[in-house]
């Protein structure tokens, strides 16, 4: 089938999105699909991309990075230019389905999903509402608390709010997060007032709200949910520091143990929390919940990623591999479940 792999876009996670899209496109071609990479900023009026998938639209990721960029993409946002460049939506309409490999702002926050819905273009993953809720850590926290999903205590602040710790009832150590950041961009662990103020300043550079969260010391885990199936738990052990952007995407920077070394009871409890967290946000097709467990066994859901990464170091593919599911088969399963999503709504 004709599959447009949408990746790149305008966010702090652009590079990771292109890597995800490259991997997905390559895998789908290996399965016989006519797959092409499409960047929202792709500067082309050529609507015949599916007839040239193996030539003009080669998937050499380094070449693609260069060809997909024409000048400073960030100037488009500043100047209020359209997110989709000329003919992109028309190209997407020619596909049987769009594999959404965008990450971060505009791609993961429900905006692109809403545009595709309005154009009746089928796409993989969650819809615009679940995507928006999952991207906004403040809203996610409110839903978790209301639905009984265990999560660290936090305070959600808008730009201009008083962030004095005594007034908001928080104390060090803390985690300061840009509310709509992803891939650990805009996440800071702080232990004193100077670090705290610096983190607030940096977060407001990329967002207009921040989440101040209690720091939970413990082991880090992640659990993928694909369809109704909860994947094996993977433990994340950074070789240096914590699971930040570098440790997430630098090969060899993090040890991933899958299945995680947990008791059967702990595994089932963690998988249950992950499934509940994804369900209360309304996630569809596939998602990933990040969970931390303290020394005494208490578990807290940190967040849900409604559009998990699909790079060679990403967690959901790693969990699938432990079940004997190849990366290419995982991509096809996501597409099959996405078609089912639309069939169920008819």
* pLDDT at residue 11 is higher than 50: yes
| Cα(336)–Cα(343) distance, integer angstroms | 11
Burial class (CB in 10 A: 0-12, 13-18, 19+), 62: exposed
User: 19 pLDDT band (50/70/90 cuts)?
Assistant: confident
Enzyme catalytic residues = 13, 183, 249, 288, 290, 303, 305, 309
Residues whose CB is less than 8 angstroms from the CB of residue 257 and which lie 6 or more positions away in sequence, other chains included = 234, 235, 237
Mean confidence (pLDDT) of the chain: 86
Buried/exposed 303-340: b ≥16 CB within 10 Å, e otherwise? bbbbbbbbbebbbbbbbbeeeebebbebbbbbbebbee
Question: Is the torsion defined by CA of 196, 202, 203, 209 positive or negative?
Answer: positive
Q: Would you list the domain boundaries of the chain?
A: 2-123, 153-214, 219-345
CATH 3.30.470.20 fits 219-345, yes or no: yes
The confidence score (pLDDT) of residue 44 equals 52
Instruction: For 70-111, write each residue's pLDDT tens digit.
Output: 445 455 454 556 677 767 888 899 999 999 999 887 888 999
* pLDDT at residue 68 is higher than 90: no
Helix (H) or strand (E) holding 157: strand 154-158
The confidence score (pLDDT) of residue 49 equals 60
| Cα(186)–Cα(55) distance, integer angstroms | 38
**DSSP per-residue string spanning 106-141:** TTTSSHHHHHHHHTT--BSS--HHHHHHHH-HHHHH
Window from 69-83, 192-206, 243-257, 324-338 with minimum mean pLDDT:
69-83
User: 300 pLDDT band (50/70/90 cuts)?
Assistant: very high
pTM score of the predicted model? 0.86
Architecture of domain 2-123: 3-Layer(aba) Sandwich (3.40)
Cross-strand pairs, 238 = 254
Helical segments of the chain, H only: 14-30, 61-67, 74-78, 88-93, 111-118, 128-135, 137-147, 165-168, 193-206, 245-249, 264-281, 315-322, 327-345
Window from 62-71, 87-96, 125-134, 197-206 with minimum mean pLDDT:
62-71
CB 284 within 8 A of CB 260: no
Superfamily of domain 153-214: ATP-grasp fold, A domain (3.30.1490.20)
What are the two backbone dihedrals, phi and then psi, of residue 4, each rounded to the nearest 5 degrees? Answer: -95, 120
């Amino acid at each position: 089938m004709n599959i447009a792999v949408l990746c790149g876009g305008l966010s702090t996670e652009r590079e990771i999105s292109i890597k995800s899209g490259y991997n997905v496109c390559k895998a789908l071609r290996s399965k016989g699909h006519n797959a092409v990479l499409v960047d929202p900023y792709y500067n082309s009026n050529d609507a015949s991309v599916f007839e040239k998938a193996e030539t003009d639209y080669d998937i050499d990721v380094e070449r693609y990075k260069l060809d997909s960029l024409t000048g400073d993409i960030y100037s488009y946002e500043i100047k209020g230019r359209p997110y989709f460049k000329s003919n992109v939506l028309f190209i997407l309409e020619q596909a049987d389905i769009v594999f959404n490999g965008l990450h971060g702002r505009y791609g993961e926050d429900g905006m692109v999903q809403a545009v595709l819905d309005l154009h009746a273009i089928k796409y993989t993953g969650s819809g615009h509402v679940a995507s928006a809720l999952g991207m906004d850590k403040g809203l996610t926290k409110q839903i978790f608390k209301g639905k009984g999903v265990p999560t660290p205590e936090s305070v959600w602040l808008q730009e201009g709010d008083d962030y004095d710790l005594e007034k908001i009832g928080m104390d060090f150590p803390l985690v300061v997060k840009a509310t709509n950041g992803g891939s650990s961009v805009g996440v800071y662990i702080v232990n004193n007032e100077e670090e705290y103020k610096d983190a607030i300043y940096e977060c407001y550079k990329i967002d207009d709200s921040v989440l101040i969260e209690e720091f939970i010391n413990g082991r880090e885990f992640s659990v993928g949910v694909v369809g109704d199936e909860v994947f094996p738990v993977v433990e994340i052990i950074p070789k240096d520091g914590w699971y930040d952007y570098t440790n997430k995407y630098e090969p060899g920077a993090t040890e991933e143990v899958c299945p995680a070394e947990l008791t059967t009871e702990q595994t089932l409890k963690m998988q249950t929390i992950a499934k509940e967290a994804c369900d209360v946000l309304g996630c569809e097709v596939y998602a990933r919940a990040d969970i931390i467990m303290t020394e005494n066994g208490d578990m807290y859901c940190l967040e849900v990623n409604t559009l998990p990464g699909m790079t060679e170091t990403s967690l959901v593919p790693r969990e699938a591999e432990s079940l004997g599911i190849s990366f290419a088969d995982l991509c096809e399963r996501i597409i099959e479940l996405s078609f089912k999503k639309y069939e169920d709504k008819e």
